[in-house]
Amino acid sequence: MITRLSTLGFLTGLAILTALAGCTSEPQQRARSERVETREAAPAHKTEKQPQMVRHYDPEGKLLPSDEYIIGLRLPRGTKLYREDRLQHVYRIQAPIEKVLAYLGPMLITGSVERRGKGAIYKRASVRGAEVNPTKIDVSILEIGHSLTRISVNEIPPPPPPEHTPSPDRTRSAAQQSFRTLD
């Protein structure tokens, strides 16, 4: 009787193991093949999504220009908008202030440059190469941390037109009168 029970137990156990092996073998093989397929496809997918390295400096260590302009002023690469109002535009760039001054300074035409620590404020400046009557701007370039520089561009609105504009006939007669006095 003992041999019969042990044989019966052995056969039952063997049947259970066979059933379990039969049930799990196909999903395991499918999972393995899926893992192999994803490993093969992953490197090609990764190389497509890697962003290109954007250089901020030329070989001489000078900042390179970006494609972003503000009021005719071409900003350097790596500049990020920090805050913006209607007439004020504030940017930050991870670069030494000396490099930012060397980049932006030659672009600005003004007779009033005020030094502030290592930085500078260009008052009522025009952008070099801008149209005949460019918008006047105040540009401040200030150091706010180690290799962190703040660029603030404030537009100076043009003066309002005169309240009373003389007629063309009156302007012409005033010009003729001034020419007579020159003779």
Instruction: Write down the pLDDT at residue 128.
Output: 87
**How many CA atoms within 13 Å lie on the side-chain side of 183?**
5
Residue-wise DSSP of 93-107: ESS-HHHHHHHHGGG
- Whether the full predicted model's pTM is greater than 0.75, yes or no, is no
How far is 33 from 136, CA to CA, in rounded Å? 67
Question: How far is the C-alpha of 98 from the C-alpha of 143, rounded, in Å?
Answer: 9
Structure confidence by residue, pLDDT tens digits, 84-139: 999 999 999 999 999 999 999 999 999 899 999 999 999 999 998 876 667 899 99
pLDDT tens-digit profile of 117-131? 999 999 999 998 876
Percent above pLDDT 70 for the chain: 70
More confident residue, 155 or 174: 155
Q: d(Cα 115, Cα 142) in Å, to the nearest integer?
A: 10
Least confident window among 17-31, 87-101, 166-180: 17-31
What local confidence, expressed as pLDDT, does residue 165 receive? 80
Q: How many CB atoms lie within 10 A of CB 87?
A: 13
Q: Which residues, in sequence order, are bridge partners of residue 137?
A: 125, 155
Beta strand residue intervals within 51-146, DSSP E: 65-70, 73-76, 80-84, 88-93, 108-109, 112-116, 119-127, 136-145
Q: Which long-range contacts (CB under 8 A, 24 or more apart) does 103-108 make?
A: 103/62, 103/63, 103/76, 104/73, 104/76, 104/139, 104/141, 104/151, 107/73, 107/74, 108/73, 108/139
